[in-house]
Amino acid sequence: MFKIMIVEDDQEIREELKILLQNSGYEIKLITDFENVDKQILEQEPHLILLDINLPNKSGYEICSKIRAKSKIPIIFVTSRNNSMDELKGIMIGGDDYIEKPYNVPILLARVQNLLNRVYSKEQDVSKLEYKEITLDILKSQLIYKENKKELTKTELKTMYYLFKNADKIISRTEIIDYLWDNEIYADDNSLSVIITRLRERLKEIGVENLIETKRGMGYKI
């Protein structure tokens, strides 16, 4: 599990950010004492730092350059300063990314994930998912059942992936649409129906029937 350090002086934001990131599966460390922040950070050895710029005692810029003198831990500046010059300064001083408050949650999570993947070159979490002898090959974008294979489009693959990930659970239509939007597929309710219909056809073609169940008024389930 990745350990993320939050350096943020506003208590409310700090606590809520902690909950948010914990819910996304990260281990969180907080700084509450703003003396010798850089030392505290280096002792904890986090995988990533979310660093505010306006802090008591030393500014985020100073902390960043102190850390950079000793370590290459990825740093994301998180600040309400919305100014190109501030951003430039943050990057020049060794920050890896710069996110503005109020952050959009999907964007924040995506940037954190991207940076972690880039730095720690984590392999694709899984390249194949399996459920009831049906295999979803993500790299090849294929559905496999016994000897039968079927290619999927990007939209179909993403939808199928989300269903596989949440197998045995009922997922609401908005939940799927929400996930698709995060993956740059901006579908509405009708489009989702079309996607599901097509997925059922694909499944039929490889000999699987009734995998995707419709739960009236609730959503879908596999």
Partner 1 sequence: MNFGRYVKDKINYILSFIVYGLIIIFFLYAMEISKDIIIIVISISFIFAFTGFIISFYNKNKTFKNINNIIDKLDEKYLISEIINKPKREEKLAYYNILKKANKSMIENVTDIKNHQKEYKEYIESWVHEIKIPITSAKLLCENNKNDITNKIDEEVEEINNYVEQVLFYARLEQVSNDFMIKEINLQNVVKNVILRNKKIMIQNNMKVDIENINCICYSDEKWLEFILNQIIINSIKYKKLNNSTIWISVEQDKDNVKLKIRDNGLGIKKSELGRIFDKGFTGSNGRNHKRSTGIGLYLCKRLCTELGMKIFADSNEGEYTEIVILIPRVLSYKILR
Nearer to partner 1, 83 or 117 (CB): 83
Name which of residues 112 to 171 contact partner 1 (CB under 8 A): none
Long-range contacts of 214-219 (CB under 8 A, 24+ apart): 215/170, 218/170, 218/172, 219/170, 219/171, 219/172, 219/173, 219/175, 219/176
| SS3 category, 127 | coil
Length of the chain: 222
Q: Which of 3, 44, 70, 105 binds partner 1 (CB under 8 A)?
A: 105
Does 19 bind partner 1 (CB under 8 A)? Our answer is: yes
Does 85 bind partner 1 (CB under 8 A)? Our answer is: yes
Does 32 bind partner 1 (CB under 8 A)? Our answer is: no
Task: Decide if 149 contacts 160 (C-beta within 8 A).
Answer: no
Nearer to partner 1, 29 or 89 (CB): 89
> For residue 17, which of 81, 130, 99 has the smallest C-alpha distance?
99
Q: Which of 32, 84, 121, 210 binds partner 1 (CB under 8 A)?
A: 84
Residues that bind partner 1 (CB under 8 A): 10, 12-13, 16-17, 19-20, 23, 54, 80-85, 88, 101-107, 174, 177-178, 181-182, 184, 186-191
